[in-house]
A and B are shown apart, each in its own frame.
Chain A
Amino acid sequence: MSEERPDFRELVGDDLTPEEELELARVDGLLRSVPGPATEVPGSLTRAVERIGTTTPIWTRRRLVAAVALAATLAAFFFGVGRWVDRGGFDARATVQMTAGRTAPDATAKIELGRRDEATGNWKMRLVVDGLPHLTDNEYYVLWLAKDGQYAGACGTFNVDGRTTVDLTASYDLSEYDAWVISRAEPDAPWLLSAAT
């Protein structure tokens, strides 16, 4: 294998018109001035990209670990599971404070969990959210439960106007999920707020 990069004349031959030679010399200069491209795109990247838009939401492993760890730490620190609260006429049995993600750093939200209806199994929930922009054009937010970083169950949709309180219900067994998540209701939307369940 040669140590030198190719000789321009060897590449293009010597039967070019002056105009052609000028053009090819310009391209030759460009190619010599940049590093080589990646030899191969990893198959794992291609497989991950193939899933984009077909599942919700797509998270990189590192981001998922970081988000869940941060949410779990903050939730455990500020609002230990099982903390009982009773405020504002809503019979809250526990409160979960959500943590803002990078895409909505000024947002705040908390979920007050009420009693579980023994007959139906429905949880009453009150969501208090602030700092998210009002959405238009039939767009809305969704509060959902995640497991292993993936969408696992919707708890309701809502829009906001400043500080907003929304009453919701869900019938899931909350112990089966990892995290509460608020995002826009669209494929692959980033997590705006999250908390460990």
Chain B
Amino acid sequence: MATAESDSRLIERVGRGDREAFEQLYKRFARPVFAMALRQLGDNGRAEDAAQETFAAVWRSARSYKAERGTASAWLYAVARHAIIDRARQKRENAIEVPEEADTRAGPAERAEESWLTWRVHSALELLPERERVVIELAYWSGLSQTEIASYLDVPLGTVKTRTRTGLGRLAGLLEEVKA
């Protein structure tokens, strides 16, 4: 991913106690972390706790990150997964009941793969300029048509189309090696 190096640099700076780098890292990964926690824990409060623990762990252990062992995104994903699993274990009785068809559809390995793919896509979205990210999210996950998005954002339809296409092109670069 094109931004891996800059993520790495941020984590290395966090490891040296750089709060500004920590804030940047939070801005970049807060939504992917919170979204993953929310999907897997199914509860806002617990998802918030898990996300908080994720960033506390990042602050504590950024020194241990070694860029040569893997990408920064993978390291952060592992930290977040650990915090989420930990939170799920702490209150297993309240864990989400997974529908039976979900169990037959995808095993743990497949679910992990889906989770990783979702993480990659969401992390990449965070790197888009806000104006491009918004139109893509509205197009793919709100069900709005391009015309409806233009009306909702109060911008010309042509602007929506340009931003969407530019954003998709930018995502293609950010997700160069990722396959669905």
Contacts and interface: CB of A to CB of B under 8 A. Distances in A.
Contacts of A82: none
A27 B125 CA distance: 11
Contact of B144 (A2, A36, A46): A2
Contact of B180 (A26, A45, A63, A188): A26
A24 B148 contact: no
B48 A23 contact: no
Contacts of B35: 35-38
A41 B60 contact: no
Given A35-B118, A62-B49, A29 B165 contact: no
Contacts of B179: 26, 30
Nearest to B91: A62
A49 B117 contact: no
A6 B148 CA distance: 11
Interface in A26-53: 26-38, 41-42, 44-46, 48-50, 52-53
Given A26-B172, A53-B19, A41 B34 contact: yes
A3 B48 contact: no
A155 to B, nearest CB: 22
B79 interface: no
B95 interface: no
Given A10-B146, A29-B180, A30-B117, A38 B52 contact: no
Contacts, number: 139
A53 B17 contact: yes
Nearest to B135: A11
Contacts of A35: 35, 39, 118, 141
B75 interface: no
**Size bin of chain B's contact surface:** 35 or more
Interface in B108-127: 114, 117-118, 121-122, 125
Contacts of B139: 6, 11
Nearest to A189: B60
Contacts of B142: 1
B30 A37 contact: no
A88 interface: no
24 contacts: A1-B144, A6-B140, A24-B168, A27-B175, A30-B121, A30-B179, A35-B118, A36-B137, A37-B122, A41-B30, A45-B30, A45-B52, A48-B48, A49-B26, A49-B30, A49-B51, A53-B17, A53-B19, A53-B59, A62-B90, A62-B91, A63-B49, A186-B60, A188-B59
Shortest 4 CB-CB distances between A and B: which pairs?
A36-B141, A38-B35, A34-B118, A29-B180
Interface of A: 1-6, 10-13, 20, 23-24, 26-38, 41-42, 44-46, 48-50, 52-54, 58, 60-63, 66, 186-190
